[in-house]
């Protein structure tokens, strides 16, 4: 079963996502921007609509709209009277609604809506896999070259700025990272569960680690475990893959949470 | 002679600096300079523009009018006001010290010792540290970069009086041994009296400036704080010292 090409493709895509989700999810938690991926993933549905309508293809449409919204959000003034979380919620809900409303008008897409929302990792095609791989390579490059600066700005933004780190540039890079990641998720975890893959393994890793680097690596490993085990459940018990992965990561999280509260420290 | 020359060098010079937020003038015509090895204390009421002034010097903000001239290759270290490190970031003291660089074991240990900390805390979690310890760790990190000018924004906020005194003593030591100039913001002139060369009293403009002794007797200063400075210090003598790490050292 595991050697079937479609399973291998799905597994590869999901593994790439899990590895990337570790560090990116950690950055989101540290910057208190956990809702950010939700907003961007919801807006991706509008991107699909835009891509189809303009004839650019879904992937291009998604990247376009996600980057546009990321860029707009990066330019929200510092002490804007509307809280960032509110903006995220409003934009996310609006773009999701526009996407759903628009896509139901396109008869050939209608049946695919569930696949967009909850993912269909086992139906990934070869060229989708190529898209996932190039996108992931770009994310990794951005991550490797900005990792220290990203952490520095998350810990002490003022000091980082005084020592020559551009907050603006780092915030654009951070949003670009999430935008790229979300555009991947359309194919694998589905739009509604992107945040689960980003946030839950990283949060679980917080219980187990003492430095930012370890937390990122642990988050990736937890993600890999959830992906493999989730796919296993999906194939053997005929469950949808993405929700199975999510449930497994949530079980791990609550387990660590309980252990942490009872013993104060696991490791 | 070489040392003489070095001591007189101007590190940073502000020339008629003005700054406003939302059409409200926060700073007007601020001019002063800081030279090598000098300790300058900024005092003034809340909202007087002290932190804004520091941010201008640091280059985080840029002035609406006026010039800030910095010595070439000047290295400025900054310890911000009341730092809160997000608990969601797992961070050891070692990793914190290496936030933007790599240092070998010896440099890190020396850095901790110089700021009066135990080397054992190097691999400890940074979040449970006390306010005083954290402030010292912050200072240690800044000093690793060997700054020529150290900028501190209310460095003793949240410390108990004894901690305050020790922290100022530490700053004095750093100033003496490393010839490092210091600009700091403080609320209480009386506490910093002994450890500052010049005081700049700010309330949007420079209200008055001079040595600490001169300042307390100036009417502008008294006017700014609304009343005669009436502070009585309760003095008592210890037969022991409280070290920053919480240990007690007995003096013979």
Q: What is the mean pLDDT of residues A225-252?
A: 89
The pLDDT assigned to B241 comes to 66
Q: Closest Cα of chain B to A194: distance in Å?
A: 20
The pLDDT assigned to A5 comes to 82
Q: Closest Cα of chain B to A30: distance in Å?
A: 6
In the predicted model, residues of chain B with pLDDT beneath 70 are: 1-8, 188-194, 221-249, 251-252
CA-based nearest residue in chain B for residue A212: B90
The pLDDT assigned to B232 comes to 43
A267 touches chain B (CB under 8 A): no
Pairing of strands B10-21, B24-35: antiparallel
Tell me if the domain spanning A5-192 has CATH number 1.10.3470.10.
yes
pLDDT single digits (tens) A116-156: 777 777 778 888 888 888 889 999 999 999 999 999 999 99
Joined together, the tokens standing for residue B238 give 């210890």
Partner residue facing B99 (CB), from A29, A32, A152: A152
The pLDDT assigned to B224 comes to 67
B146 touches chain A (CB under 8 A): no
Please state the domain extents for chain A. Answer: 5-192
* Residue contact A148–B86, C-beta within 8 A: no
CA-based nearest residue in chain B for residue A153: B99
Instruction: Give B85's contacts in chain A (Cβ within 8 Å).
Output: 155-156
- A230-235 own/partner pairs: CB under 8 Å, 24+ apart: A230/A14, A231/A7, A231/A10, A231/A11, A231/A14, A231/A121, A231/A122, A234/A121, A234/A122, A235/A1, A235/A2, A235/A7, A235/A122
Q: Where are the beta strands (DSSP E) in B71-225?
A: 76-79, 149-153, 181-185, 198-203, 205-210
pLDDT at A185 over 90: no
A78 touches chain B (CB under 8 A): no
Q: Closest Cα of chain B to A86: distance in Å?
A: 21
Helix (H, G, I), strand (E, B) or coil at B73: coil
* Residue contact B60–A160, C-beta within 8 A: no
Q: What angle (nearest 5°) sits at the alpha carbon of residue A14, between those of residues A9 and A16?
A: 100
Residue B245: closest CA among B124, B133, B155: B133
Rounded Cα distance, B27 and B16, in Å: 10
The pLDDT assigned to B23 comes to 80
Q: What is this structure's pTM?
A: 0.83
pLDDT at A110 over 70: no
Residue A197: closest CA among A176, A174, A226: A226
A152 touches chain B (CB under 8 A): yes
Q: Closest Cα of chain A to B94: distance in Å?
A: 9
Residue A60: Cβ-neighbour burial (10 angstroms; 0-12, 13-18, 19+): middle
A29 touches chain B (CB under 8 A): yes
Query: Does the structure's ipTM exceed the value 0.85?
Result: no
CA-based nearest residue in chain A for residue B152: A159
The pLDDT assigned to B191 comes to 67
Q: What is the mean pLDDT of residues A42-70?
A: 84
Residue A109: Cβ-neighbour burial (10 angstroms; 0-12, 13-18, 19+): middle
Instruction: Give A213's contacts in chain B (Cβ within 8 Å).
Output: 95
End-to-end Cα separation, chain A, in angstroms = 37
Give the up-direction half-sphere exposure of residue A68: CA atoms within 13 A in the CB hemisphere: 13
List the CATH code of the domain at B2-250: 3.40.50.300
- Is the Cβ–Cβ distance between B87 and B127 less than 8 Å? yes
How many residues make up chain A in this entry?
Answer: 267
Q: Closest Cα of chain A to B211: distance in Å?
A: 29
- More confidently predicted of B102 and A192: B102
pLDDT at A222 over 70: yes
With both helix axes pointing from N to C terminus, report the angle between A194-208 and A36-54 in degrees, rounded to the nearest 10: 150
The pLDDT assigned to B29 comes to 85
Please state the domain extents for chain B. Answer: 2-250
């Amino acid at each position: 079963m595991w050697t079937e090409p479609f399973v291998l493709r799905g597994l590869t895509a999901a593994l790439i996502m899990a590895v990337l989700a570790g560090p990116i999810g950690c950055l989101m938690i540290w910057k208190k921007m956990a809702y950010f991926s939700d907003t961007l993933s919801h807006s991706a549905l509008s991107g699909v609509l835009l891509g189809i309508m303009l004839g650019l293809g879904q992937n291009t449409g998604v990247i376009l709209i996600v980057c546009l919204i990321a860029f707009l959000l990066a330019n929200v003034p510092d002490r804007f009277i509307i809280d960032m979380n509110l903006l995220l919620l409003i934009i996310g809900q609006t773009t999701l609604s526009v996407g759903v409303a628009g896509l139901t008008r396109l008869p050939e897409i209608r049946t695919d809506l569930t696949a967009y929302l909850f993912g269909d990792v086992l139906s990934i095609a070869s060229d989708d896999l190529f898209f996932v791989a190039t996108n992931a390579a770009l994310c990794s490059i951005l991550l490797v070259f900005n990792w220290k600066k990203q952490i520095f700005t998350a810990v002490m933004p003022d000091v980082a700025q005084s020592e020559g780190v551009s907050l603006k540039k780092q915030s654009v890079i951070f949003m670009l990272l999430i935008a790229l990641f979300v555009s991947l998720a359309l194919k694998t975890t589905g739009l509604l569960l992107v945040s689960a893959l980003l946030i839950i393994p990283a949060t679980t890793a917080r219980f187990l680690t003492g430095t930012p680097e370890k937390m990122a690596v642990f988050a990736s490993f937890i993600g890999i475990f959830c992906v493999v085990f989730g796919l296993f459940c999906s194939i053997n018990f005929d469950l949808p893959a993405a929700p199975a992965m999510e449930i497994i990561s949530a079980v791990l999280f609550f387990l660590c949470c309980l252990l942490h509260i009872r013993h104060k420290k696991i490791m | 002679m070489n040392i003489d020359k070095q001591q007189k060098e101007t590190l940073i010079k502000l020339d008629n600096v003005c700054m406003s937020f939302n059409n409200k003038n926060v700073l007007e015509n601020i001019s002063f300079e800081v030279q090598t090895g000098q300790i300058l204390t900024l005092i003034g009421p809340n909202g007087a523009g002290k932190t804004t002034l520091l941010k201008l010097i640091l280059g985080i903000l840029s002035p609406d009018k006026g010039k800030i001239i910095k010595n070439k290759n000047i290295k400025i270290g900054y310890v911000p006001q009341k730092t809160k490190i997000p608990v969601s970031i797992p961070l050891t003291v070692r990793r914190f010290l290496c936030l933007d660089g790599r240092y070998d074991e010896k440099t890190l240990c020396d850095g901790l010792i110089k700021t009066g900390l135990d080397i054992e805390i190097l691999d400890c979690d940074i979040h449970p540290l006390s306010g005083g310890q954290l402030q010292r760790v912050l200072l240690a990190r800044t000093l690793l970069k060997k700054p020529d000018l150290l900028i501190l924004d209310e460095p003793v906020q949240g410390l108990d009086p004894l901690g305050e005194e020790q922290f100022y003593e530490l700053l004095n030591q750093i100033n003496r041994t490393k010839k490092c100039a210091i600009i700091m913001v403080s609320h209480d002139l009386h506490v910093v009296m002994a450890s500052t060369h010049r005081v700049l009293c700010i309330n949007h403009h420079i209200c008055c400036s001079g040595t600490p002794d001169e300042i307390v007797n100036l009417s502008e200063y008294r006017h700014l704080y609304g009343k005669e400075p009436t502070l009585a210090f309760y003095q008592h003598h210890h037969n022991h010292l409280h070290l920053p790490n919480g240990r007690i050292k007995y003096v013979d």
